[in-house]
């Protein structure tokens, strides 16, 4: 099952900058683990925003929720999830 997820990051105003950098480091490591196993297929920066559009390929709503909730930035992001279906004009 494929999903488009838009994530918008809302950095806390009062966090120690080093702590924030450590969260960003863990975020990258966590996300890339799911890129390597094929569940996190694309991530694109939205120009001009601290936000992305991502494509996930997972088994269920529950699996997607578990992955999204595990992002170290989860407490600092707004997420919008859209389920995707195959388009009849798609070549593959």
Ligand X SMILES: O=C(O)C[C@H]1C=CC(=O)O1
Residues found near ligand X in the complex (CB under 6 A)? 7, 9, 27-28, 31, 43, 52, 71, 73
The residue among 66 and 92 lying less far from ligand X, judged by its C-beta, is 66
Residue 83: which of 5, 12, 16 has the closest Cα? 5
What is the torsional sign of CA 66, 55, 36, 46? negative
Query: Taking CB positions, which residue lies at the least distance from ligand X?
Result: 31
Instruction: Give the integer Cα–Cα distance in Å for 58 and 39.
Output: 6
CB of 43 to ligand X, least distance (A): 6
CA distance 72 to 11: 12
- Would you say 1 or 42 has its CB closer to ligand X? 42
Give helix then strand counts, H and E, for the chain: 2, 4
Of the two residues 29 and 87, which places its CB atom closer to ligand X in the complex? 29
Shortest Å, Cβ 79 to ligand X: 9
Q: Which residue lies nearer to ligand X by CB, 41 or 88?
A: 41
């Amino acid at each position: 099952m494929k999903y488009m997820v838009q994530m918008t990051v809302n950095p806390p105003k009062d966090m120690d900058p080093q702590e924030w950098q450590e969260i960003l480091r863990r975020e990258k490591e966590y996300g890339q683990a799911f890129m390597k196993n094929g569940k996190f297929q694309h991530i694109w920066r939205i120009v001009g925003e601290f936000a992305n559009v991502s494509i996930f390929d997972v088994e269920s709503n529950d699996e997607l929720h578990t992955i999204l909730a595990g992002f170290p930035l989860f407490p600092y992001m707004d997420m919008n999830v859209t389920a995707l279906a195959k388009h009849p004009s798609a070549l593959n």
